[in-house]
Copies of this chain bind each other. A is one copy, B any other.
């Protein structure tokens, strides 16, 4: 029975997870969006539904970021795939907000994987 030459400290799942997070944040606009979503009412104009609860709709993010509608939509789904944001659909709007639980756990993930 062969003994592995060197130890593996970090699980592959955690590493892949962190990798996806880094990829999602490795874009200046997406990184900014995450910051804006921290205090939505400081960065976005009022909207139909209360942004502190449900989040901010794509149109507002698009306007603030100065990108096209399709780009804004794509950005948000990249961030969502990395589990950094959550979304709620209300009527014709999709509201995005930070996944605060996940974000709070990032330092730990960093410490464990990196």
Interchain CB contact under 8 A, A31 and B114: yes
Contact with B along A65-97 (1 / 0, CB 8 A): 000000000000000000000000000000000
Interface size, A (range):
20 to 34
A114 in contact with B22 given A7-B39, A9-B42 (CB within 8 Å): no
A18 in contact with B25 given A35-B114, A38-B9, A110-B106 (CB within 8 Å): yes
Judged by a CB distance under 8 angstroms, whether A113 is at the interface is yes
Question: Mind listing 29 A-B residue pairs with CB under 8 Å?
Answer: A6-B43, A7-B39, A7-B43, A9-B35, A9-B38, A9-B39, A15-B28, A15-B32, A18-B25, A19-B25, A19-B26, A19-B27, A19-B28, A19-B31, A22-B22, A22-B23, A22-B25, A22-B31, A23-B26, A25-B114, A26-B26, A34-B114, A35-B113, A35-B114, A103-B114, A106-B107, A106-B110, A107-B107, A110-B110
